[in-house]
Amino acid sequence: MSLRFCNSHSLYHLLLVLVIFCSISTIYAEANEDPTIRTMEAFSGYPIHESNSFVTNLASSLSVDTETLQKRIDELSTFSDTPAPSVTRVLYTENDVLARSYIKNLMGLSGLSVREDAVGNIFGRWIGNEAELAPVATGSHIDAIPYSGKYDGVVGVLGAIEAINVLKRSGFKPRRSLEVIMFTSEEPTRYGISCLGSRLLAGIESLAKDLTSTVDGQNISFLDAARSAGYAKEPNDLSSVFLKKGSYSAFVELHIEQGPILEEEGTSIGIVTAIAAPASIKVDFEGNGGHAGAVLMPNRNDAGLAAAELALAVEKHVLESGSIDTVGTVGILELHPGAINSIPSKSHLEIDTRDIDEKRRNSVIEKIHQSAITIAKNRGVTLSEFKIVNQDPPALSEKSIIEAVEAASKELNLTHKFMISRAYHDSLFMARYR
């Protein structure tokens, strides 16, 4: 079956979507009037048309323990390298390892079968009545960029565990297995690679190869860091992470982050129709250094000004795309030697570009590249590197899951909005199993 995914910020919403895809069609629909009943019955072991009382009783018994869920979110936030209320939890650090143990313990307490792969993706499975069927999965990440909040990613993991607890308390018994996944390193903080765990699950062989020689800012290799946390014990372990096609029948991601749009509108649920395709670029210019007072302006080959000009060119090309869905950000701009009285001899930029239209985004990247070449020539500096680090395709939600999310939102009387996710998530790579 095709893989389906979404992002939202309501636990009840996630709960009903899981129920829909494991057992029940659009809730309370009459079997003889609903063309999807047969599909939903295939997900469950229940003849829906013969057990409307079961449907009604199940829906009425769904009760989320919000107090315990909030307590667990607060407890997880204490595993941090920075003081509250901020959270800093970087891949394979001591607090990351402690947080992983916390998640595995909660999965165990919920009666899930727990396993980890070679990079630390954690899986907690509630085994269904027909375990041979491809399971329905949900989850997110718990790593946190420096000085972030305590909800990003975490809600999608702890919320998923609580959703399973709710279903268990209600007496629900899935036909297909349900699995919670905690993905390793969704954030690119340590090694500059976003969605590292889900990228590997998606079978990206080039990444597995690159990770054997990747180092962080302190020159600690990925493999050494992984081994210090108890992972990647064998040199060829990374390819063992790859999932086979058909490993999951559906994937749903609960997430709080769709930007300020929902808050500004007072809308409860974002029903994501697509995740914008991200691309990351690294650029290096090399010029001539010199004393800020001694070298006259006409004689300068300033790598810093080349970087500044390229940053403005990024904005220009993005705005000229003609679409509000095209975005570009120069998130890193570093100058060497970094002294107020020294002309920069080197500059380094890292650029993020995103769009739901891959062709349009790639056109912007090419224009940025041509601008970099022209700027280097005009300023008498060298463009020593223009490297596209990643250039991912967009992911589109399937109609079936969009409809399921809409149905769950209506059942809960939650206002909702169809929207594009310009922030990307592990769903982007889980969607490759469609």
pLDDT at 41: 45
Looking at the structure, tell me whether residues 124 and 200 fall in a common domain.
yes
Looking at the structure, tell me whether residues 35 and 85 fall in a common domain.
yes
Looking at the structure, tell me whether residues 387 and 242 fall in a common domain.
no
Looking at the structure, tell me whether residues 369 and 405 fall in a common domain.
no
C-alpha of 349 from chain center: 23
- Both tokens of 6, joined, read 């979404």
pLDDT at 245: 87
Quote the number of domains for the chain.
Answer: 2
| Angle made by CA atoms 90, 240, 138, in degrees to the nearest 5 | 60
Measured CA to CA, the distance from residue 73 to residue 399 in angstroms comes to 32
Measured CA to CA, the distance from residue 307 to residue 19 in angstroms comes to 52
209 located within any domain:
yes
Looking at the structure, tell me whether residues 258 and 315 fall in a common domain.
no
48 located within any domain:
yes
Looking at the structure, tell me whether residues 201 and 319 fall in a common domain.
no
1 located within any domain:
no
pTM for the model: 0.82
Residue 211: which of 119, 92, 96 has the closest Cα? 119
| Residues 6 or more apart whose Cβ sits within 8 Å of residue 33 | none
Looking at the structure, tell me whether residues 410 and 304 fall in a common domain.
no
328 located within any domain:
yes
pLDDT at 170: 86
Looking at the structure, tell me whether residues 242 and 232 fall in a common domain.
yes
2 located within any domain:
no
72 located within any domain:
yes
Measured CA to CA, the distance from residue 193 to residue 191 in angstroms comes to 6
Domain that holds residue 46: 7-275+394-433
Looking at the structure, tell me whether residues 285 and 424 fall in a common domain.
no
C-alpha of 410 from chain center: 26
What is each CA distance from 254 to 183, 187, 225, in whole angstroms? 13, 16, 29
pLDDT at 30: 39
**Residue 409 belongs to domain with CATH number:** 3.40.630.10
Looking at the structure, tell me whether residues 353 and 256 fall in a common domain.
no
Looking at the structure, tell me whether residues 337 and 427 fall in a common domain.
no
Residue 107: which of 166, 161, 155 has the closest Cα? 161
| Residues 6 or more apart whose Cβ sits within 8 Å of residue 35 | none
pLDDT at 334: 97
**Residue 374 belongs to domain with CATH number:** 3.30.70.360
pLDDT at 420: 87
- Tell me how crowded residue 179 is: count the other CB atoms within 10 A of its CB: 24
How would you write the pLDDT of the chain (434 residues) with one tens digit per residue? 233 444 434 565 666 566 555 543 333 333 344 444 444 444 444 444 444 455 445 555 678 899 999 999 999 999 999 999 999 999 999 999 999 999 999 999 999 999 999 999 999 999 999 999 999 999 999 999 999 999 999 999 999 999 999 999 988 888 899 999 999 999 999 998 989 999 999 999 999 999 999 999 899 999 999 999 999 988 678 999 999 988 998 898 988 766 678 888 989 888 999 888 889 999 999 999 999 999 999 999 999 999 999 999 999 999 999 999 999 999 999 999 999 999 999 999 999 999 999 999 999 999 999 999 999 999 999 999 999 988 988 888 888 888 888 888 888 888 999 988 888 889 999 988 65
428 located within any domain:
yes
pLDDT at 283: 98
Looking at the structure, tell me whether residues 380 and 413 fall in a common domain.
no
- Helices 11-22 and 154-170 pack at an angle, to 10 degrees, of 60
